[in-house]
Every structure is written in structure tokens, then in C-alpha cells.
Structure 1
Amino acid sequence: MKNSPVASRPAWIIRNAMTLATVAIILLYALFIQWVWGWETVISLWAAAGWGSALLAMLLLLATYVLRTWRIYDYFPRETGGHFGVLLRLVQVHNLLNIMLPFRTGEASFPLLMKREFGLPLARGTAALFVMRLFDLHALLAAAGTGLALQDGRPWAWALWLVFLLLPAAAFGMRRHALSMLTRLLPRKAQALLHEVEAGLPADASAFMRAWGATLINWFTKIAVLAWVLGLLGHLPVAASFGGALGGELSSVLPVHAPAGVGTYPAGITAGALAFGADTAKPALDALAQAAVNTHLLVIVSSLAGTALSLFAARRRVRG
């Protein structure tokens, strides 16, 4: 007995769920930007800064998404091998959900999507995501610290920055001793969680160096691009530009993070720039606020563009 078209429709929806979700998110973001700011406003704001600068910033941010995907591709070579395009789409959907949903609830989509697309166990996907987020936080702070070291310029500032930069390598070298000690100290139920965290660590020193290196390059590039845009649009000193870029990115991981970062991301940029020495005079604050909104729009539009482009790169994974 042949399946009717109506009966096969749910199966088609299930098979193409991620593509349909991606398209829906893209449309929602486009409508969201039109509702909050209007695309005419976005275009006019960037026209004043120069389309060449806008295009370069966009391309560099898109490159960070590809590098972020490669990190996961290399982290799970057996599961994701030969399906970089599908993984790129998955990473972009995960990134958009993180931006759209408050309280960082979009993070839950990563292990679920990895389970659905590549059969990765939920516990391992969650543990690996936790480890990679620790990498991300360290690299984000190290990238922002570059601005402070550049502003100070003295050798001791660069020495402190270098010590902080190398902390993950030292921690990875001592991981077995630290895990053994924690296993003895923690209760039995917590030990199970600790074993999952251990399973999410890179398998060896070579895998660690690749993951760590990709993370540093990714975040140094992103923070540098955002700092450059803030300096270009807001006429900020180097340290304040880096502080603003750091403040905006850190605001997205706080519990008060609004959907799509509306209000909270520009506020984080402003707070970070002021903490790193931005001018507090009214004309300078007005310019900073304008630059913060424009930079936030750049992040949103680049995420939107990356997700749209990932649809063309993805090929359906066929399981054996």
C-alpha cells in the first residue's frame, strides 16, 4: 500500500526540520530589524561609515563563524567527517538561537542538534560545549586584555597578559591531577558529572592545541573587528574600543541578556567602553551610543547573513 501525500508530509517536515527552522529564524530576524530600527535606517547609518569598511567587517565576522565550525568539526571528526556544510548550518542556527533567546537558553540547542544530525550522545555534546565555552570565555578576556596592554605599553602589562593567555595550557597539563583530586573530594553524584566533563576535554595535547588555537584566533578576530568598528564610528581610543567590544560580548552571556540583545548589548558596549576610559562628555556619549547600536546591528546582520549562506553550503547527512 502506497503512502498518500498527506501521510508523507509529517515525515518530510521532520527530515527538513533544521532547514525550515533556519528559514523561519531568518525571516523573523528580518522582520524584527525592520520593526525595531527599519532597514532604511540601517543602510543610512552604514553608508556614512563607508560600504568598504562595512563589507570588510562583515566578511571577517563571517570568517569567524567558519572557524568556529571547523573547531567543532575537528573536535568530533568521526561523527562530523565529510559533513562540514551541515555542521556550518547547525552552528549558525545555534548562534542565532543564542542571540534571540534570553538567559542563554539557546545553548540547549547545541547538544540537541548534534544528537539529531550526527547521533552524538547528549551528555558528551553538553560536556564538550561546556569545555568550549570555558575556552571562549578565556579567549574573550585575553582579547580584550590586548587593549589594556596596548594602552599601558609597559613590559609588565604584556607579561601579565602573557601569563593569563597561557593559563589554559597549564590547566590542561595538570588536568589529570586536578580531576583525580576532585573525584576524591566530590560526592558520588557529582562525580558522574565530572566524568562527563572529562569526556568533553580534548583527547590529547594535539587536539587541545588545535581547539585552543582556533578559539584564540576566532575571538581575537571578532573582538578586533568589533573594536575597530567602534573606534571608526564612535572615534574611541584603542582601550575603550576593546572595552566596548568586550562589554557587548559579555552582556550576551549574562542572565539579563534580552532577546536579540536589544538594549542589553549596546548597554554592555557603552559600559565596557566607559570602564576602559571612554570620554564621558555628552557629545562623546552620543557618538558612543550611536556606535554601540551600529555595532550591535553588525553582529545581528552578520549572523543573519551567515545563516542564510549556510543553507547553500549544507548537504543532507545520509546515515548508513
Structure 2
Amino acid sequence: MKNYSVASQRAWIIRNAMTLLTLGIVILYAIFIQWVWGWSSVLALWESAGLGSAFLALVALLGTYVLRTWRIYDYFPKETGGHFGTLLRLTQVHNLLNIMLPFRSGEASFPLLMKREFDLSLARGTAALFVMRLFDLHALLAAAGIGLVLETSGTIGMHWAWIIWLGFLILPAIGFALRGVALRFAARILPAKAAKLLAEIEAGLPVDTKAFARAWGATLVNWFTKIAVLAWVLCLLGALPIPAGFGGALGGELSSVLPVHAPAGVGTYPAGITAGAIAFGAVATGASLEELGQAAVNTHLLVIVSSLIGTALSLFAARGKR
């Protein structure tokens, strides 16, 4: 009887491992926020700007998480079909681990979780993640590039700035159209041992032009929305010009992919915001710099609180397939 009880408990833990992992991460992250900042200070920091603005920004960021989940859902329709809720929870756990763990080590959780929940091979999951991250980096730079273009407003070079930006924007479409040529060229110049790696990269690409257009479009909308929201928050809290707001949003997001990214981005994310905003024209002295620093911390808090709330809400999503 005792052995049966132990076996039953283990089976229950295995069946609910994803839920338990999610709940554990949410609790630890909530404790972490209380320890570093304190939940009362998180709310107090937004009182001057208005809790309505904070709520609007929070909802917009939560919307980007849903769109990010849909991109993966559409990327693997056979494996994830009918289980959007489970995938939403998986995506939120992956996102929160990425924020919490340094050196982007949280990325390793994606292929592992996809293997467990949807029986997707580790090779295909890793290759697809690599391709999606390339999409993300391009869209992030394109979104922030709007800030650079806005700096040329009213100048002679404004039209050229928009043309260059549009050229950069369509680079992924050109690359996808030439993927066959690029893969064949790589196969000729790389050693035979690299053939398996190339096959994995090819397997991670969208299956056809329509799938590429959906993934690329979702990525652009996702990052343009997130950068716009963060830029708006920075302009609201730090009284920044629009280009500096875009630069700060870019700096913060880029800091999260650096090897020196601290756990939960404490210190490094606000520093990235500050550096990006200054690079795009923010005043770097006196009271203006202090105000920028406070705005950077508040924006960072908004990002991590939105991740925490998104992960907590995903607990109400559907159960896994297995």
C-alpha cells in the first residue's frame, strides 16, 4: 500500500510538473521583487505618472506575450494544435527564466520544455529558436531604428534615412528568398561534419513563404509594440524626447542579450536604458540624468512585473497534452 501511495504521488508530480514549475517560479520571483525593491515601492513609483498609464502599458506588454505564443503555435501547428493554453504557459515560463537567469542560460529551457510538452525533437526546437531569435534581433533593431530616423526629421537627409530603414526592414524577406542558395553555398565551403548542423538550421526555418510571412509579421508587430510601449513609458516618466525614448527602450532590451546580463537584469537593464537614451540625445548631466535613472528603474520594474503577472495568469491555461 505504501509503495502504491509513493508511486501515485510521483505520477501526480510528473503529470503536473509544468504547473508546479510555473507556480514555483512565480513565488520565487515575487519574493525576489519584494527583497530587491518591495512591492509597495513598485506601486508608489507609478502614482505620480498615474496608475491608469501603468495599467495600459501592462496590458499592452501582456498582449505581446500572447502574440509571441501565437508565433510559436503557428510555427509548429501539428505539434501544438489545440493546445494554445499549454503553449502560453510554456512560453511564459521560458520568458521568465530568460529574465531571471544570467548569460541567456534560460534559452536552454525552450527546447527542453517543447520536448516534454509536445515531444518536439531537441534539434528542431533549438534550430527554430535560433531562427526566431534572429527574427527578434532584426525586428528589435528595426523598431529602434525609427528613433534614429525621427532624429533626422526636418533635415535634408530625412528621405534617405527612411529609404535605408526600409531597406533594412526587408532584409529577412531577401534572406528567406535566397535561403536555398545560401545553404548550398554553405554546404560547399563548410566541412562535411557541418552537414548535420545545416540540416538542423534548415529544419528550423519556416516551411514555406506563407509561414515565413506570418512569423515575420508577428515578430515585427510584437517588437514594434513592445519598443513603442517602453519608449512611451520612458518619455512619460523621464520627460525624454521621442528619439531618446526609443534609444532607451532599445538599450534596455539589448542589455538582456549580453553575456554580462545580471539575474533579472538588476542593474544591467536600467544601465542599458540609460546608455541608449543618452546615445539618442538624452541629457546626461544633473537633475535630468537622475530623472532618467529613475525612469529606467521604473521601466525595468514594469517589464519584470508584466512577466510575473503573465506567468501567473498562464497557470489558468489548459493542461498539457501528456
On whether the aligned pair clears a TM of 0.5, the verdict is yes
**Which deviates further from its counterpart, 143-152 or 289-298?**
143-152
Could you tell me how far apart the structure 1 residues matched to 2:84 and 2:3 are? 33
- CA deviation map 1:5-59 (0-9, x unaligned): 2221112111111111111111111111111111111111011110110000000
In structure 2, do the counterparts of structure 1 residues 34 and 2 end up closer, same or farther at CA, with 3 Å as the change threshold?
Answer: closer
**What does 1:175-254 align with in structure 2 at a 5 Å threshold?**
175-254=179-258
Listed as ranges, the matches of 1:6-25 within 5 Å are: 6-25=6-25
Alignment of 1:217-296 (within 5 A): 217-296=221-300
Question: How far apart are 1:147 and its partner, in Å?
Answer: 1.0
State the partner residue of 1:117.
117
**Quick one: distance in 2 between partners of 1:316 and 1:114?**
11
**Quick one: which amino acid aligns to residue 202 of structure 2?**
E
Percentage identity across paired residues of the two chains: 75
In structure 2, relative to structure 1, the CA distance for the partners of 1:49 and 1:126 (3 Å cut) is same
* One-letter amino acid of the structure 2 residue matched with residue 98 of structure 1: N
Residue number in structure 1 paired with 2:91: 91
Kindly report structure 1 stretches of 4+ aligned residues shifted beyond 6 Å: none
Instruction: Write out per-residue CA displacement over residues 127-167 of structure 1, whole angstroms, 9 at most, x where no aligned residue.
Output: 00000000000000000001111221211111110000000
Q: Distance in 2 between matches of 1:262 and 1:19?
A: 27
State how far apart, in whole Å, the 2-side matches of 1:295 and 1:19 are: 29
1:309 alignment partner in structure 2 = 313
**Counterpart code for 2:213:** M
Instruction: Name structure 2 gaps, 5 residues minimum.
Output: none
Residue-pair matches, total: 318
More off after superposition, 96-105 vs 188-197? 188-197
User: Counterpart of 1:127?
Assistant: 127
Once residues 99 and 33 of structure 1 are traced to their aligned partners in structure 2, the CA distance between those partners, rounded to angstroms, is 13
Distance, in Å, in 1 between the alignment partners of 2:259 and 2:43 is: 31
Give distance in 2, aligned partners of 1:203 and 1:293.
41
- Map of 1:38 onto structure 2: 38
Q: Distance in 2 between matches of 1:295 and 1:245?
A: 9
Answer yes or no: is the 8 Å Cα contact 1:80–1:87 preserved in 2: yes
Give the TM-score taking structure 2 as reference length: 0.97
Secondary structure at the aligned position of 2:48 is classed as: helix
Q: Distance in 2 between matches of 1:2 and 1:258?
A: 45
1:144 correspondence with 2:144: yes
Structure 1 stretch displaced more, 115-124 or 1-10: 1-10
Aligned to 1:49: 49
AA paired with 2:277? A
Contact 1:22 1:307 in 2 (8 A): yes
Contact 1:131 1:200 in 2 (8 A): yes
Contact 1:88 1:314 in 2 (8 A): no
